Amino acid sequence: MVRKVRFILCVAVLFLLQVTVVHRFTHRFLRPDLLYLAVIFLALEADFTGALWGAFGLGLLRDLGSCGRIGAGALLFLPATAALLIVRDHLVRESPWTDLALTFAYVLACGLLSALAVSAFTSGGHLGQLTARAFGQAAFTTALSPLFFVAFANLGLVDESAGILDAT
């Protein structure tokens, strides 16, 4: 129960930072997304069920913060998280470069899927600009990931022996 409370508090802080402060650290196409970091950390460290539930919840929270359609973030996060969960079991993750590559691929895949959906179903943007934004978001979020992953690990958000949010 303590891990879940810590995780919820950590996500609340990330959400508040995302909607209040992060826009000050953006430059053109470079914009980090802190909620991606929590989803990716769960996908890399938690068990299958916990990571998928976390991805769903964080996707809904992301939609609330972006004033987008409710459920669109969850629809992006769930398949990307499932793919990352399948891939992580077949990789040797002793090198931090592996986590960086997985983080970049995850954020880029979600960004490109979002860009395709926006350009296909709305008149909200040009596909080239949205693709550049996806690459910038992936690069900036990946650059911040080691700092946040170390903080998440030090907070003990996931039981490292069992890979679960809470030892029952």
Q: What is the CATH number of the domain that holds 73?
A: 1.10.1760.20
Which of 54-58, 61-65, 85-89, 147-151 comes out lowest in average pLDDT?
Answer: 61-65
Residue 164 lies in a domain: no
Task: Look at residue 134 and tell me if it is in a domain.
Answer: yes
Q: Is residue 16 part of a domain?
A: yes
Cβ(93)–Cβ(40) below 8 Å: no
Q: For residue 166, tell me if it sits in a domain.
A: no
Using DSSP's 3-state secondary structure scheme, residue 156 falls into coil
Residue 81 lies in domain: 2-155
Please give the span between the terminal C-alpha atoms of the chain, in angstroms, as a whole number: 8
Confirm whether 18 is domain-assigned: yes
Q: Give tens-digit pLDDT for 60-95.
A: 888 877 766 777 778 888 999 999 999 988 887 778
Instruction: Give pLDDT tens digits for 8-35.
Output: 888 898 888 888 887 787 777 788 888 8
| Residues sharing a CB contact under 8 Å with residue 58, sequence separation 6 or more, in sequence order | 11, 35, 38, 39, 42, 73, 77
- Nearest-angstrom CA–CA distance, 52 and 42: 8
Does some domain include residue 161? no
Residue 163 within any structural domain of the chain: no
In total, how many domains does the chain have?
A: 1
Is residue 59's pLDDT more than 70?
yes
93 within domain boundaries: yes
